Structure 1
Amino acid sequence: MSYRYMRLIVMFDLPTISPKDMKNYRIFRNFLIKNGFMMMQESVYSKIAVNQSMAKLIANRVRENKPPKGLVQMFIITEKQFSRMEILVGEISEEYITDDSRLIIL
């Protein structure tokens, strides 16, 4: 069976002025974390999906749980494209899976 791993990347800029805005921010961020997204940097989260149809299902769930205000952007790329990301400043985190093998031992 062949898998084409996809990576969903969600970027957001949400208002945090009022207490209600802060609550919406926390709810959305917790939704991402509980659904397996990992933080790449502040307000940028990613999640790996087994194939494109699964990535679309995950994207629909993000759309259903988006906050009422602010900017949320999302895109889907292949895992191969994601692995070619160039780190210009900073260090590579070992928390991210950059291998497309099926079994990964942590």
Structure 2
Amino acid sequence: MRLMVFFDLPTATSENRRNYRRFRKDLISNGFFMLQESVYCRMVINEAMAKSVVARIESFKPPQGMVCAMIITEKQFAGISFIVGDMKSDVVTTEQSLVIL
């Protein structure tokens, strides 16, 4: 399973930009990688783990803006079509339950 986080945060003031950088840094330190700007993704084992990660995100969410989370299966993630651009080579896209890197 994958947990995808989408966010739209204000950057009008220096405090807004600081909150944006801190939120992005916290996502990365919690195992997320960037799919595209303001869209981050992380592998999770099951729905319980996904809910735990969402609770962690809620603990460091910025005071303003919008943050959404969505759980998708590996099959759905593998079926993403890239209209423009290419997928980064460091992103694992497989339907297998166990991937050894």
Report the TM range for the smaller structure's normalisation.
over 0.9
Q: TM-score, normalised by structure 1?
A: 0.88
Corresponding position of 1:76: 71
TM-score if structure 2 supplies the norm length? Answer: 0.92
> C-alpha distance in 2, partners of 1:87/1:23?
31
Number of aligned pairs? 100
For the aligned residue pairs, the C-alpha RMSD in angstroms reads 1.1
Query: 1:57-91 CA deviation, whole Å, 9 max, x = no partner?
Result: 11111122110101111111111111111111111
Distance 2:27 2:11 in 1: 17
Distance (Å, rounded) in 1 between the aligned partners of 2:19 and 2:36: 19
- Give structure 1 regions of 4+ aligned residues with deviation exceeding 3 angstroms: none
AA of the residue aligned to 1:44: V
Percent identity at matched positions? Answer: 47
The correspondence for 1:21, drawn from 1, 16, 20, is 16
Q: SS state of the match for residue 97, structure 1?
A: coil
Paired residue for 1:91, among 82, 86, 93? 86
Gaps of 5+ in 2: none
Where structure 1 has 5 or more consecutive residues not aligned to the other structure, the ranges are 1-5
